[in-house]
Amino acid sequence: MRAYESRQSRKRTAIEVFAWPTVIAAVSLFGLIAALIGHGGYDVLGALALLVPVAAGVWAWMTRRR
């Protein structure tokens, strides 16, 4: 049996399922607010925070199973 097969057979809790999407959403919200309200460093911080969902999507695309 492969390692990923044993992981798929176990039922995952709601916290395990929604933990990372919640973190990504919170960082994105912070980035939007920082970029809209702040100036200078907040613009840079907001732009970096808004790159988090892009980086997560690229990471998921690169590590997907075929």
Residue-range domain boundaries for the chain? 12-62
Residue 38: per-residue pLDDT: 84
For 22-28, what is the mean pLDDT?
A: 96
Mean pLDDT of the chain: 87
**Nearest to residue 45, comparing CAs of 55, 36, 56?**
36
In this predicted model, which residue has the larger pLDDT, 22 or 1?
A: 22
Q: What is the pLDDT of residues 32-52, one digit of tens each?
A: 999 899 888 899 999 999 999
pTM: 0.72
What is the pLDDT confidence band of residue 6, given thresholds at 50, 70 and 90? low
Q: How far apart are CA 28 and CA 34, in angstroms?
A: 10
